[in-house]
Amino acid sequence: MSIVKPLLIKTEPGFKLIIKISDGNEGIVDLSDLVGKGVFKEWSNGDLFNKAYIDVTGAIAWNDELDICSDALYERIIRNERLNLIEPLK
């Protein structure tokens, strides 16, 4: 099994990231649930969230002290794709 890594990221309004992954998956991850919690309080100040980048380890980072593991974001993308495959309740 190969290790998946983010290839490209783009920030969107509402604390969302569009992420393209090395295995061909891509999706939008909504991180608004983290805003104001713990180290993510920093996102509330100015436009730090919009400065996201992929660091040398493959994590999504905003500075030297604030990052999030790309595996966790990958899991959110895959989970969202699975949820979208389920037929809506009628």
In a domain, 16, yes or no: yes
What is the CB neighbour count within 10 angstroms for residue 25? 13
In a domain, 1, yes or no: no
What is the CB neighbour count within 10 angstroms for residue 8? 10
Helices (H), the chain: 70-85
Q: Measured between alpha carbons, how far is residue 66 from residues 10, 51, 73, 75, 84 in Å? A: 17, 11, 15, 19, 30
The predicted pLDDT at position 56 comes to 93
Share of the chain above pLDDT 70, in %: 87
The predicted pLDDT at position 86 comes to 45
Instruction: Report which of residues 87 and 74 the model is more confident about.
Output: 74
pTM (2 decimals)?
0.81
- The whole-angstrom separation of Cα 17 and Cα 34 is 13
Q: Does the pLDDT value for residue 88 go beyond 70? A: no
Query: What CATH number is attached to the domain comprising 34?
Result: 3.30.2020.10
- How many domains does one find in the chain? 1
The predicted pLDDT at position 46 comes to 73
